[in-house]
Structure 1
Amino acid sequence: MILYDYFRSSAAYRVRIALNLKGLAYERRDVMLLENQQRSPEHLARNPQGLVPALDTGEGVLTQSLAIVEWLDSRYPEPRLIPTDAHARAAAIARALVVAADIHPLNNLRVMRRLKDMGVDEAGRNDWTHHWIAEGFAALEAMAGDAPFLGGDAPGIADLFLVPQMYNARRFDTPLDAYPRLVAIDAACTALPAFAAAHPDAVAPK
């Protein structure tokens, strides 16, 4: 498998974690977002949205991190990341979507560039970022139980989405004192080799 990736893309980071947890071999190919390589004809042919990640499975190219993780879980079911029980499955995906639908899209590179083009200064853009992270994290903190992970006793799909967002929160100096459960879950996840190997610092271009 080939993963078209960018080391700081939180969506791609999620997929790296999933691949690592499942012990799957894959080749990374960098798509340098700051150089606009995602808008190249070659990449647009791969992903018409001009985004990462894109995973070439050998059967075709998949896009959107949630869809990719769901495919991986269907094709390589151990360890399972999305529960099979209908209620537990819906609850796990709902937690993942707090990040995937309600935090990340509002703070990604193309939104930040658009805000800058509209005249929003750096302080204003940082305030925007902190606001949406705080709103989403407050909800996730309330959703987190007493288990070591959002997924329970083992990491699940919501943990794959949380950890990259925690990385982004720290990059933008977002206060995290109000989210002790999320901080603890993030620490439990990042102590695992599969998460550590997916960290942006571990895959950044040398």
Structure 2
Amino acid sequence: MHLSLVYFSKPVLHGYFRSSCSWRVRIAFALKGIEYDQVPVNLIKDGGQQKSQQFKTLNPMQQVPAVEIDGMILSQSLAVIQYIDETRPGHPLLPADLKKRAQVRMISDLIASGIQPLQNLYVIQKIGAEKVQWSQHFINRGFQALEPVLKETAGKYCVGDEISMADICLVPQVYNAERFKVDLEEYPTIKRLNQALLDVEAFKVSHPSRQPDTPADLN
């Protein structure tokens, strides 16, 4: 059941083209058919625009995304995804079945809490020259846990045959794995699901290669 809300205006997504967390929100908006505006926050330029005083008022953690929606600001991607699922009609991002819903949340948290933060830009900048080896190690460690989980839960997509928040989390994480040259042949279920999802229009339009702030050499 969706809450009855007065929608103030189109949501505004403050994000970065290659940010996993920003991409998750873009996918969710696309799946729901929600129009939104984008304000790019360049995480590299000028030492990182996320560190500006102006952006800190939106997200004190100095991370993207920050989403202005319904008269408030939300700054964690899974909170944004679950909020729009609870307040907007359209494609459900969490299954009605409570067991499947728990599985979706488990997979989403495994990725969003257990894998992705260890390749966060702030972290790998601190690691320095060893950032590739560091990222490969922790992505492989996470995928070694995720692969058997997905073997049990997957149908066409991560949990059964409907796209969910788990799929929204998976694709950006696989993109990161490919950036850091992780061998996906070791993870056939992850690879299969990712390939299927990349054929879905919502994942195509939200891809880092197709954003307003995408560098020209990545188009």
- Note whether the superposition's TM-score is higher than 0.5: yes
Instruction: State yes or no: 1:72 paired with 2:84.
Output: yes
Q: Say yes or no: does 1:150 pair with 2:162.
A: no
State which of 141, 157, 165 in structure 2 corresponds to 1:135. Answer: 141
The corresponding residue for 1:21 is: 31
Any conservation in 2 of the 1:112–1:125 contact (CA below 8 Å)?
yes
- 1:100 maps to what in 2? 112
Distance 1:39 1:146 in 2: 39
Structure 2 residue matching 1:191: 3-state secondary structure: coil
The counterpart of 1:47, out of the listed 52, 59, 71, is 59
Indicate the SS of the match to 2:191: helix
**Aligned length, in residue pairs:** 200
3-state SS in 1 of match to 2:95: coil
TM-score, normalised relative to structure 1? 0.93
Distance, in Å, in 1 between the alignment partners of 2:32 and 2:206 is 13
Cα-Cα RMSD: 1.2
Q: What is the CA–CA distance in structure 2 between the aligned matches of 1:174 and 1:49, rounded to whole Å? A: 29
Stretches of structure 1 that go unaligned for 5 or more consecutive residues are none
Partner of residue 188 from structure 1, selected from 157, 180, 196:
196
Q: Which runs of 5+ in 2 are unaligned?
A: 1-10
Aligned-pair identity in percent equals: 37
Aligned to 1:166: 174
Structure 1 runs (4+) deviating above 6 angstroms are: none
Residue 87 of structure 1 and its aligned partner are, at CA, apart by: 2.5
Q: Matches of 2:181 and 2:215 in 1, distance apart?
A: 23
Post-superposition shift, 1:58?
Answer: 3.4
Report the AA paired with residue 92 of structure 2. Answer: R
Instruction: Normalising by structure 2, report the TM-score.
Output: 0.88
Indicate which of 11, 14, 36 corresponds to 2:21: 11
Deviations 1:46-89 (A, max 9, x none): 11111101111131111100100010110114211112333222
